[in-house]
Amino acid sequence: MYDPLVDKDIGQGANYPSSYWAAQTKNSAGTGAIVADQSTDIVVIGAGYTGLSCAYQLAKRFNRDVTILEAHQTGWGCSGRNAGFVLRGTGRLGLAQLTKRFGLDTAQLFHQEYGAAIEQVKQMIAEGDIACDIQPEGYLKVAHNATIAAELPAQAAFLQRQFGYQAEYLSAAQLKNDYMHNPHAYGAVRFPDCFGVNPLTLAQGYAAMAQQSGAKLYTGSPLLSWQRGTDGSFLLQTPQARLRCKQLVLATNGYTPKCLYPPLNRACLPVLSSIIVTQPLTAEQLEQSGLHHTQLVMDTRALKYYYRKLPDNRILFGGRSAVYGKDAEKAVYPARLLSALKTCFPVLAQLGCEYHWSGWVAVSYDDLPRVCEAEPGLFYAGGYCGSGLSFSTLAGVRLAELTMGIKVPPLPIYQNRLPPFPLPAFRRLGQLAYYQWGRVKDRFL
């Protein structure tokens, strides 16, 4: 599998991974590679949610001449591979941590922005009439031990009191009664406004909206290199064509190749997240596991597991994977996830796995993303730390606004660039150490 910290370039025109989403989703016809030289106002690199949402805004709202270049297929990166959890938030800091770091006023602004992100996704789905199998609302943050469970009532009360957010505390007994027969679930906080989607259909819907608004989308068209003209414009090189533009948006996130824009690559740690999808559960298995609902679930481990029931009664179950791309397809990783699923739900001991795939999430050094003008005329958004479905959609809006010189909300994540990792060459060693620590913490602490 392509590894952004190892491979020189990202390749060209690969098919979707053999995911459940790719199997479920009618493949929208590829738009084809760019083969003739062109000039355009603005070029967006990457056809994930960030790039597509940005291009849609640029074309529809600001009437700009915009071209999207995607190395492979629409939604080929994280946007077509994720778990489809439309969550409230991004990065790795909750509102309590944001309050500690930036103060309550700023944390409240974050909260509003995260709500706006969910609304933006809903609005795009409605506007584009995107049939992305919405599963109705709720996300359960489930405590994996009694110590963490004891903190949950205060966490829910804090969200209600300081943010007016209707988070709901659920005891272990309520969880068992209403949501799951999981002996490792000690209590939960329920976030009422999150929901599930088919992520690949969503990306394809965004692409259709961007194109219908006048954006040109070229798949199979990697940006190989770029340079500045004497007037500050950008000259872009793809395998078969050159483009000239005044502004450039990098929406390549965790898939950013090593040499494309080194300050961005050095500021992200691409981390593999893996998903398995099981056989459909029988009515008896659904009853016995308590999984008769469509809540999104994630636990509180350092090395988190997340799961949901899909519309055809399969379980999607995800978590950490290999560290290096070359190891991503090894059988040990889906086996580990299936075993973790069965530890959570012993009644599913006979369940088999039918799909497995992985993708690169971009972890930032300070656990927060950035949306910024990195240097004159060059913009990027990234570093969502594995929680980017809703936020990337809004990040596209904010990116488009930045290119137009429009003021965006005064949040720290819009005010500067992603901080580089110190000693970036050792990022993977740091990740391995974190995994060791996480294993110990999750088992014993």
Residue with tokens 């596991």: 289
Is 289 among the residues that bind ligand FAD (CB under 6 A)? no
Per CB under 6 A, the list member of 25, 57, 182, 392 interacting with ligand FAD is 392
- Minimal distance, residue 322 CB to ligand FAD, in Å: 12
227 to each of 218, 234, 265, 383, how far by Cα in Å? Answer: 20, 6, 17, 24
Is 206 among the residues that bind ligand FAD (CB under 6 A)? no
Site for ligand FAD in 316-345 (CB under 6 A): 318
Is 359 among the residues that bind ligand FAD (CB under 6 A)? yes
Is 254 among the residues that bind ligand FAD (CB under 6 A)? yes
Residue with tokens 């939960």: 188
Residues in CB range of 276: below 8 A, 6 or more apart: 316, 317, 318, 334, 337, 338, 341, 353, 355, 356
- Minimal distance, residue 438 CB to ligand FAD, in Å: 17
Per CB under 6 A, the list member of 297, 351, 389, 400 interacting with ligand FAD is 389
Per CB under 6 A, the list member of 28, 79, 247, 300 interacting with ligand FAD is 79
Residues in CB range of 332: below 8 A, 6 or more apart: none
Stretch that binds ligand FAD, among 157-165, 226-234, 327-335, 383-391 (CB under 6 A): 383-391
Is 159 among the residues that bind ligand FAD (CB under 6 A)? no
Residues in CB range of 363: below 8 A, 6 or more apart: 92, 268, 269, 270, 271, 383, 385, 386
Is 135 among the residues that bind ligand FAD (CB under 6 A)? no
Is 388 among the residues that bind ligand FAD (CB under 6 A)? yes
Per CB under 6 A, the list member of 5, 55, 69, 276 interacting with ligand FAD is 69
Task: List the beta bridge partners of residue 236.
Answer: 226, 243
CB environment 279-308: b (16+ within 10 A), e (fewer): bebeeebbeebbbebbbbbbbbbeebbbbb
Per CB under 6 A, the list member of 211, 247, 273, 364 interacting with ligand FAD is 273
Two structure tokens written together for 370: 């950035």
Stretch that binds ligand FAD, among 39-47, 138-146, 227-235, 417-425 (CB under 6 A): 39-47
> Quick one: 179 or 305, whose CB is closer to ligand FAD?
305
Residue with tokens 């110190």: 422
Half-sphere exposure of 168 (CA within 13 A, CB side): 11
- Give Cα 174 distance to the centre of its chain: 30
Is 205 among the residues that bind ligand FAD (CB under 6 A)? no
Task: List the beta bridge partners of residue 268.
Answer: 364
- Outline where DSSP puts E strands in 125-192: 139-142, 168-171, 187-191
Is 48 among the residues that bind ligand FAD (CB under 6 A)? yes
Per CB under 6 A, the list member of 17, 84, 128, 187 interacting with ligand FAD is 84
Is 46 among the residues that bind ligand FAD (CB under 6 A)? yes
> Quick one: 71 or 175, whose CB is closer to ligand FAD?
71
* CB contact at 8 A, 271 and 360: yes
Residue with tokens 């990234």: 382
The residue count for binding ligand FAD (CB under 6 A) is 43
Is 120 among the residues that bind ligand FAD (CB under 6 A)? no
Per CB under 6 A, the list member of 19, 25, 51, 134 interacting with ligand FAD is 51
Is 81 among the residues that bind ligand FAD (CB under 6 A)? yes
Is 218 among the residues that bind ligand FAD (CB under 6 A)? no
Alpha carbon distance, N-terminus to C-terminus of the chain: 34
Is 220 among the residues that bind ligand FAD (CB under 6 A)? no
Is 34 among the residues that bind ligand FAD (CB under 6 A)? no
DSSP helix/strand/coil, 218: strand
Two structure tokens written together for 332: 């040990």
- Minimal distance, residue 444 CB to ligand FAD, in Å: 27
Stretch that binds ligand FAD, among 16-24, 135-143, 146-154, 388-396 (CB under 6 A): 388-396
Two structure tokens written together for 202: 């969503």
* Amino acid type, 280: P
CA distance 217 to 203: 13
Is 33 among the residues that bind ligand FAD (CB under 6 A)? no
* CB contact at 8 A, 5 and 323: no
CB atoms within 10 A of CB 315: 25
- Minimal distance, residue 251 CB to ligand FAD, in Å: 5
> Quick one: 256 or 285, whose CB is closer to ligand FAD?
256
Task: List the beta bridge partners of residue 320.
Answer: 273
Stretch that binds ligand FAD, among 16-24, 69-77, 111-119, 420-428 (CB under 6 A): 69-77
Q: By CB under 6 A, name the binding residues for ligand FAD.
A: 10, 45-51, 69-72, 76-79, 81-85, 87, 222-223, 251-257, 260, 273, 275, 318, 359, 361, 384, 386-389, 392
